[in-house]
Amino acid sequence: MTRLLILGSLGGELGHAARIAAARGAQLTQVEGVTAALERLRGAGADLILADAAHDLPWLLERLAEERIATPLIACGRNADADSVLRAIRAGAREFLPLPPEAELIAAMLQAVTAEHEAPIGRDAVMQALLARAGQLARAEASVLITGESGTGKEVLARHIHAASRRARGPFVALNCAALPEALLESELFGHERGAFSGAVAARKGKFEQADRGTLLLDEIGEMDVRLQSKLLRAIQEREVDKLGGTQPVKVDVRILAATNRDLEAEVRAGRFREDLYFRLNVVQLRIPPLRERAGDILPLAEHFAARYAAANGLPARPLSPAATARLMAHPWPGNVRELENALHRAVLLASGREIGAEAIELGHAPPASVTTGVAPVAAPPPADPIAALVGRRMEEVERELILETLGRCLGNRTRAAEILGISIRTLRNKLAEYRGQGVAVPLAPGQLPESWRVA
Ligand SMILES: Nc1ncnc2c1ncn2[C@@H]1O[C@H](COP(=O)(O)OP(=O)(O)OP(=O)(O)O)[C@@H](O)[C@H]1O
């Protein structure tokens, strides 16, 4: 269940947005000021913030960055608030939601944040068997270890297990253990009291406490330092956590799911992973096969992503041409579903005819930096060098792709895309006009076409 934090009311219009979100299954909390919002985020946490742009959002966003609270914030307001919206976006708000809200926009937002109502797609027999097994396991309380190469859908499967479990009404909280250095990871997991270390400006709940009565996914568990592994084992066994700088252990009721793309057994043998923790986590193991071992999933996934990115960019839904289909089927997909998703996202933006043709399917790109974890997976092949992959291509073509990709990721927001690209908005507009002239689909600006909304 998505935990939505609403900041402010905007004369009831945010309340309307909240009701739409609640009808879609989100769990709501409303606060009146930025300080209260910060307190809430330090405590129970949230998955998404919808905030009235009239509040001091830059202040809040600055605190969140300082305290590494990664909850995305969406500024809401009437179009007339252009100045405060721009300020908020510059300060780090993800996007601007024009009010009064549209039900589809809210749905798209919630989905982009959590992908929660989306059951994993799996038509191949291997995947069907895996999903059936996951469904069975979901109702038990046992820990599940999900293994598979990078991008195979480990997090998607974990959410699916949570959604089908008795804890479905409780929170689903995910933590990437590879993303933080050890000391920070410890406070992220177990929380800290004010002043526990320099920079601990206020007390904060850890992910364990945030996931109370729900599910905690420990992603990339194989990257966790051995010392922290002991603390984790204790927390799991005793069902309580010791906050940094705290005096009393705190009771927690959490189901643990762990995911890794490493061979954990080999890590145990090499002395890098505690055997007792491995047995605790690995009560049941679900291995997601790489995409190349479940060819029956390639087309259903491709069609799903083509439809999703067309809708998100306000473009017509187009079928894949037979040649495009053949190209997709022939590719080995070293980056798995994530690579396929990126390829289809690009294809939707580049395709110009009535179908998505083979020429729009560009393969062999490294995944965009924002979706990699920065840690080289052991089981997966090394990622392609992004610069080397460009050699042999025309400058003009690479530039076009970069511009369209950036614009797509900014939900069609020209100002923001131009800022990121380091070009003037006039240059960007001229380029887009040029591309349109070449028959290339260009994402529309969100203000003009609200259905082009998407949270990147
Ligand atoms: N079966 C599926 N159905 C729909 N979408 C999927 C499926 N599997 C993966 N995806 C999509 O592919 C992308 C990668 O999935 P996910 O993040 O779950 O992979 P992962 O194995 O956890 O990757 P990593 O090891 O890099 O963390 C996501 O955008 C996800 O929505």
Most confident range (mean pLDDT) of 3-17, 94-108, 259-273, 369-383 is 259-273
Q: How confident is the model at residue 388 (pLDDT cuts 50, 70, 90)?
A: low
CA distance 157 to 119: 8
Whether the per-residue pLDDT at 170 is higher than 50: the answer is yes
Domains 3-114 and 125-289 in one fold: yes
**pLDDT-wise least confident of 49-53, 90-94, 201-205:** 90-94
Q: How confident is the model at residue 455 (pLDDT cuts 50, 70, 90)?
A: very low
**pLDDT-wise least confident of 15-29, 40-54, 230-244:** 15-29
List the structure tokens of 370: 């924002």
The per-residue pLDDT for 391 is: 72
Beta-carbon-side half-sphere exposure of residue 232 (alpha carbons within 13 Å): 31
Per DSSP bridges, beta strands 204-205 and 191-192 are antiparallel
Nearest CA to ligand 1 atom 12: 338
Per DSSP bridges, beta strands 48-52 and 73-77 are parallel
Q: How confident is the model over 372-395, as a mean pLDDT?
A: 50
CA distance 241 to 252: 7
Atom of ligand 1 nearest to the CA of 304: 4
The per-residue pLDDT for 379 is: 32
pLDDT > 90 fraction of the chain, expressed in percent and rounded: 45
What does pLDDT average to over the chain? 83
pLDDT > 70 fraction of the chain, expressed in percent and rounded: 88
List the structure tokens of 423: 């070009």
Task: Tell me the CA–centroid distance for residue 215 and ligand 1, in Å.
Answer: 18
Q: How confident is the model at residue 115 (pLDDT cuts 50, 70, 90)?
A: low
Q: How confident is the model at residue 372 (pLDDT cuts 50, 70, 90)?
A: very low
What is 3-114's CATH number?
3.40.50.2300
Nearest partner of 453 among 25, 117, 106, 80, judged by Cα: 106
Whether the per-residue pLDDT at 217 is higher than 80: the answer is yes
Ramachandran category for residue 314: left, alpha or beta (phi over 0 → left; psi -120 to 50 → alpha): left
172 near 162, Cβ under 8 Å?
Answer: yes
Whether the per-residue pLDDT at 456 is higher than 60: the answer is no
What is 294-386's CATH number?
1.10.8.60
CA distance 172 to 322: 40
Three-class HEC string of the chain: CCEEEEECCCCCHHHHHHHHHHHCCCEEEEECCHHHHHHHHHCCCCCEEEEECCCCHHHHHHHHHHCCCCCCEEEEECHHHHHHHHHHHHHCCCEEEECCCCHHHHHHHHHHHHCCCCCCCCCCHHHHHHHHHHHHHHCCCCCEEEECCCCCCHHHHHHHHHHCCCCCCCCEEEEECCCCCHHHHHHHHHEECCCCCCCCCCCEECHHHHCCCEEEEEECHHHCCHHHHHHHHHHHHHCEECCECCCCCEECCEEEEEEECCCHHHHHHCCCCCHHHHHHHCCEEEECCCHHHCHHHHHHHHHHHHHHHHHHCCCCCCCECHHHHHHHHHCCCCCHHHHHHHHHHHHHHHCCCCCECHHHCCCCCCCCHHHCCCCCCCCCCCCCCCCHHHCCCCHHHHHHHHHHHHHHHCCCCHHHHHHHHCCCHHHHHHHHHHHHHCCCCCCCCCCCCHHHCCCC
The per-residue pLDDT for 310 is: 84
Q: How confident is the model over 316-322, as a mean pLDDT?
A: 92
Nearest CA to ligand 1 atom 18: 153
Q: How confident is the model over 429-438, as a mean pLDDT?
A: 84
Q: How confident is the model over 179-189, as a mean pLDDT?
A: 86
The per-residue pLDDT for 144 is: 96
The per-residue pLDDT for 119 is: 80
The per-residue pLDDT for 95 is: 77
CA distance 305 to 293: 20
Q: How confident is the model at residue 298 (pLDDT cuts 50, 70, 90)?
A: very high
Residue in 118, 155, 176, 223 to alter for ligand 1 test, most ligand atoms within 8 A of Cβ = 155
Atom of ligand 1 nearest to the CA of 157: 18
Cα dihedral 17, 19, 23, 29 sign: positive
411 near 320, Cβ under 8 Å?
Answer: no
Atom of ligand 1 nearest to the CA of 372: 26
Task: Tell me the CA–centroid distance for residue 132 and ligand 1, in Å.
Answer: 18
Q: How confident is the model at residue 435 (pLDDT cuts 50, 70, 90)?
A: confident
pLDDT digits (tens, 9 = 90+) for 51-71: 988 889 989 999 988 887 878
The per-residue pLDDT for 216 is: 97
Task: Tell me the CA–centroid distance for residue 286 and ligand 1, in Å.
Answer: 15
**For the chain, domain boundaries:** 3-114, 125-289, 294-386, 392-456
Q: How confident is the model over 430-434, as a mean pLDDT?
A: 87
Residue in 338, 344, 375 to alter for ligand 1 test, most ligand atoms within 8 A of Cβ = 338
Whether the per-residue pLDDT at 251 is higher than 90: the answer is yes
Please give the distance of CA 14 from its chain centroid, rounded to a whole number.
24
The per-residue pLDDT for 242 is: 92
Q: How confident is the model at residue 264 (pLDDT cuts 50, 70, 90)?
A: very high
Whether the per-residue pLDDT at 369 is higher than 60: the answer is no
Q: What ipTM is given for this predicted complex?
A: 0.98
Is domain 125-289 classified as CATH 3.40.50.300? yes
CATH class for the region spanning 392-456: mainly alpha
Higher pLDDT, 363 or 452: 363
Nearest CA to ligand 1 atom 25: 150
Pocket (CB within 6 angstroms of ligand 1): 115, 120-122, 148, 150-156, 219, 259, 261, 337-338, 341, 373
Task: Tell me the CA–centroid distance for residue 341 and ligand 1, in Å.
Answer: 9
344 near 305, Cβ under 8 Å?
Answer: yes
Q: How confident is the model at residue 82 (pLDDT cuts 50, 70, 90)?
A: low
The per-residue pLDDT for 389 is: 67
The per-residue pLDDT for 37 is: 95
The per-residue pLDDT for 275 is: 96
Q: How confident is the model over 151-164, as a mean pLDDT?
A: 92
CA distance 431 to 256: 49
